[in-house]
Amino acid sequence: MTPIHGTTAPGFEPVRAAFASNFEKHGEVGAACAVYLRGLPVVDLWGGLADPDRQRPWREDTLQLVFSATKGVTAVCMLLLAERGEIDLDAPVARYWPEFAAQGKGEIPVRWVMCHRAGLAAVDGQLTLDEVLAGDPVVRAIAAQAPNWPPGEGHGYHARSYGWVLGELVRRVTGRTLGRFFADEIAAPLGLEFWIGLPEAQDARVAKLLPAPPAAPELQGVIDKMMAPDTLLGRVIRGPSLLFGYDDMWNRREMRVAEMPSSNGVGSARALARLYASLLGAVDGIRLLRPETIEMACRVQSDGADRVLHLATRFGTGFMLAPTLALAAQPSCFGHPGAGGSLALADRESDFSFAYVMNQMSLATVGDPRAAALLQAVYDSLADRPTS
């Protein structure tokens, strides 16, 4: 049985039990889970192996790549700038980034990028991996290209372009990269161990990402067909230039140091739970965004058939919303999952925040059962707590 480390407040023992069960029933290798309730930490758990090849244990300070859970962090940066009056979410992107207006994109508002309605899910330019990681070449390619579909006519998951477009907006408005803005304005005041663009000094703390086990042959055939290079899904998930997969490439240093604000945030479950807690109320005296900002961000902007994923998805302004956010998520939840299983969210009604990070990726297409079991255990714990 895998030893489980960390703490749970009285009444949250079901979360510890669910966390332990994930190792026994769902093939967990290394993971962490954190929960804040009404601005205070009530769950902080970790266990397993950060690197099974070297038998390196997952420690209290282990960090993890969380893929698209980074999008929620990027959304917070954008909402903070909007709240300060530095960005108008309903203004055209081209107001701040004139080159973006090329090829009929001049009227696309910032909000459409944040809710995946901009029609720019796939990046069309031919780029090398070095150019993509450098940032500027891929940003220029997006500015120069035509939309994949008429902007505003439906939505489709902007898996990678979401971060490059919003990151360039932050740079144009503040003079800082999004990773630098997040570090200065959000991570430092809240004491968060989370980075978009990981400093070299933190690299040794990162758990080794383990690709998902191979799918059954019949399922793999379906996946290969859906992800073919000539499909929009394949171009979005594997692009630009079919450079990306969910494999060992993400364990390389250059994939962590680059700033990809849609997909390569690295940090702890503790940091993500603390960040989302600060969106619901004060955490050590800091409330990051006003209640009306969060209410606005949680209004449904995109709902139904997703042009890219071919599933029903629901988005507010920057955040994914229930029911597509996560199995077990309630309608009052907002946040973002990450490829392979990671999840960070907050529940406005129940006043808690939740984060789960792991190194063993899963092929689950509609919510990860490990995250769902932990989140359900939080709700079970809250249901059993005294009301006074």
Tell me the C-alpha distance between 72 and 343, whole Å. 10
pTM: 0.97
CATH 3.40.710.10 matches 4-73+182-384: yes
Amino acid code (one letter) for 195 = W
124 CB contacts (<8 Å, ≥6 apart)?
A: 141, 145, 146, 148, 240
105, 165 contact by CB (below 8 A): no
Tell me the C-alpha distance between 35 and 344, whole Å. 10
What are 353-379's pLDDT values in tens digits?
999 999 999 987 668 999 999 999 999
Q: Is the dihedral of CA 237, 241, 245, 249 positive or negative?
A: negative
Average pLDDT over residues 163-185: 98
What are 278-328's pLDDT values in tens digits?
999 999 999 999 999 999 999 999 999 999 999 999 999 999 999 999 999
With CA atoms as reference, report the closest residue to 320 among 350, 289, 297: 297
Residue with tokens 């601005």: 39
Amino acid code (one letter) for 356 = Y
List, by residue number, the catalytic residues: 68
In this prediction, residue 226 has a pLDDT band, given cuts at 50, 70 and 90, of confident
Tell me the C-alpha distance between 74 and 100, whole Å. 20
Average pLDDT for the chain: 96
Residue 94 Cα distances to 123, 136, 169, 369, angstroms: 18, 17, 9, 41
Average pLDDT over residues 192-201: 97
If you count them, how many residues does the chain have?
388
Phi-psi region of 326 (alpha: psi -120 to 50; beta: other; left: phi over 0): beta
What are 263-292's pLDDT values in tens digits?
999 999 999 999 999 999 999 999 999 999
Tell me the C-alpha distance between 210 and 308, whole Å. 25
Residue 218 confidence (pLDDT) above 60: yes
In this prediction, residue 184 has a pLDDT band, given cuts at 50, 70 and 90, of very high
Domain boundaries, the chain: 4-73+182-384
3-class state of residue 166 by DSSP: helix
The pLDDT score that the predictor gives to residue 365 is 61
